[in-house]
Structure 1
């Protein structure tokens, strides 16, 4: 049974981004604020929610949301394995629950607040880093991503592609008052002068850790047509891993892949579209080279053509051929394991982004690149069904 176009996102909600450890509310309250805002956006009573889905190390569970929101009934709750790779996959779990009749109104959400909870970086490192890396001083995700980035450069992708991705995020943040990078235009000179975090990654190649929460509301396509907002239909959101991707020793092939080659094939096959059809993309960039690899895996370019495709002018809205991260992305908007990318993907379909791509019909959103299990999603407007 195909899930293509059977469900739609009808509500989006976010709290402001706060510098890590400075949120005025504990993590659970941030989650509740985002969920209530998403319901208000959709015109749905929060008490009518009957399903929750999240991903990775989310600590705000469905059973906690049940009394906090005064739900009438909780019929479905699930968690996608892995970390930032699980966001689009969480959408598929929610869609499957709706189509199979297990729930009618499902919220996908994420919240992070360092002041009230252990930082997720600790959990990610413990889960994802094998002992042989730890004993050799490779004790956090950035270091392993830097190794892949060096291989990507060795195989012909110019480092200027990473700079273009970073600058595109900061460029878009200037039109988004809620972005943490708002008011800070990133120049070539500033990028080059920024300190190394792990060569070849500069400071501005790295996502900024934030406290915040975001949520989206999914319902059936039939119900979506009668609600307040223009629906963003879920055309495909495959989740999984290639045969060698489950190995955490980084010995998969090709080494420059972030595990999305097979997923992208499924995405294009299930949705009926291809890379050339996509109008705008929200690409998870924990680090800019990982975003470049995700774009290559999806077929937007090859390693050989990346230098011509992944340029600053090509990556910015409204005139670029492949505008990405139009709210600022993880790098310049804020970072809660990528969840902030999803509301922006929906805004592009609605036509309400602060960096709107004219006539956007197909909006891509990728999960965390390089996770042992990852996912990707394509959202579409009415005319794409």
Structure 2
């Protein structure tokens, strides 16, 4: 291994309930998740000297620190690009620990994404910016929402590979099947079938309702420290085997229509190369995959970019179930927490405490939001 190579580990995970109307501020949600993660690790607020969150989070690090009793901070950082930041929060925490900048870093994300600002509602009034200019090439043509942006790439994927929209249903069925047995999931007790997927209404062809992730109020936090220190705490460490970020050439935020092709995720290819290189692992070494499932077509492309299967075969690979996918139910079935709940599921798998536990899980691949600059992790069992 190279890079971070086992220096840091996730030692604590904590979350609020996942709801559709929390009735509380986003700061309150963040504070609850952070306190829960520290308690899970067996640490106190006074042990924390670093914090990482998303540029989109509305709760500043110092506000969360005050709300939870955390004192002095020697490291604080934010990562851009929405859900693409998820795994990068852990990467930045691990980098801080590896370089001695911090000893215990809390990563968090909290929002009222259902009862407050609904990202799926699309573009609202924006101040002039470089990102706004890029979107200006798509908005006048009616491409106003994330679903409509992804639908363009999904349509091209189907055309090039000679497939129909039904192929996306395998992801929806798999995630919701796992959610059905997860008491923390919004869709607990409510599995779906391929027929249900095919009957769900169009959102932006070829995407149906069941191809789109849900909207959630809630918070999720993670505690990252050195692997050596994590071994002294309450749970077996979930070791950061490798971590990476990636942006592709001609990258935009979900509207990268001017690249050479639209049937893949070049930003994730950058991440995949780094993860395989730094870990020394390959697809056959992965026991569980927690793939960012904001839209089902991008899950198929993720399998393909990581080399689990050939281009156009992601649907069949999902259906075959050779690698367990999103045992918590994913963002389609458990909750949409910008991917942070997926990292928590990876930790549970390595601890052996998931409600849908994969036997002898030793290596878990986790991805962040795709279609935007993104990130990824390989977490491993200690030793």
Find the residue that maps to 1:107 and give its secondary structure: strand
User: Is 1:287 the counterpart of 2:295 in the alignment?
Assistant: yes
TM-superposed CA distance for 1:115, in Å, is 7.9
Tell me if the contact between 2:122 and 2:145 (Cα under 8 Å) persists in the aligned partners: no
Alpha-carbon distance in structure 2 between the residues aligned to 1:58 and 1:37: 19
Aligned residues between the structures: 373
Find the residue that maps to 1:132 and give its secondary structure: coil
Alpha-carbon distance in structure 2 between the residues aligned to 1:199 and 1:182: 27
TM-superposed CA distance for 1:63, in Å, is 1.3
Aligned to 1:111: 110
User: Is 1:5 the counterpart of 2:6 in the alignment?
Assistant: yes
Aligned pairs for 1:28-177 within 5 A: 28-114=27-113, 118-120=117-119, 127=131, 130-156=135-161, 157=163, 159-177=165-183
Aligned to 1:200: 206
Tell me if the contact between 2:171 and 2:315 (Cα under 8 Å) persists in the aligned partners: no
Question: Alpha carbons of 1:71 and 1:332: their partners in 2 closer, same or farther (altered >3 Å)?
Answer: same
User: Is 1:277 the counterpart of 2:276 in the alignment?
Assistant: no
TM-superposed CA distance for 1:158, in Å, is 5.1
Alpha-carbon distance in structure 2 between the residues aligned to 1:249 and 1:145: 10
User: Is 1:254 the counterpart of 2:261 in the alignment?
Assistant: yes
Per the normalisation by structure 1, the TM-score is 0.92
Alpha-carbon distance in structure 1 between the residues aligned to 2:241 and 2:366: 12
Unaligned runs of 5+ in 1: 316-320
Unaligned runs of 5+ in 2: none
Alpha-carbon distance in structure 1 between the residues aligned to 2:90 and 2:43: 19
Alpha-carbon distance in structure 1 between the residues aligned to 2:334 and 2:114: 20
Q: Which moved more, 1:157-166 or 1:57-66?
A: 157-166
Q: Deviations over 1:151-204 (max 9, x none)?
A: 111121553431010000111012101111112110222111110111111111
Tell me if the contact between 1:57 and 1:120 (Cα under 8 Å) persists in the aligned partners: no
Aligned to 2:337: 336
Q: Deviations over 1:204-228 (max 9, x none)?
A: 1100000010010000111111111
TM-superposed CA distance for 1:119, in Å, is 3.9
Alpha-carbon distance in structure 2 between the residues aligned to 1:4 and 1:123: 39
Alpha-carbon distance in structure 1 between the residues aligned to 2:309 and 2:13: 31
TM-superposed CA distance for 1:117, in Å, is 5.2
User: Is 1:358 the counterpart of 2:359 in the alignment?
Assistant: yes
Alpha-carbon distance in structure 2 between the residues aligned to 1:152 and 1:115: 30
Question: Alpha carbons of 1:207 and 1:158: their partners in 2 closer, same or farther (altered >3 Å)?
Answer: same
Find the residue that maps to 2:235 and give its secondary structure: coil
Alpha-carbon distance in structure 2 between the residues aligned to 1:287 and 1:253: 22
TM-superposed CA distance for 1:122, in Å, is 6.9
User: Is 1:308 the counterpart of 2:309 in the alignment?
Assistant: no
Alpha-carbon distance in structure 2 between the residues aligned to 1:343 and 1:380: 13
Per the normalisation by structure 2, the TM-score is 0.93
Alpha-carbon distance in structure 1 between the residues aligned to 2:120 and 2:195: 30
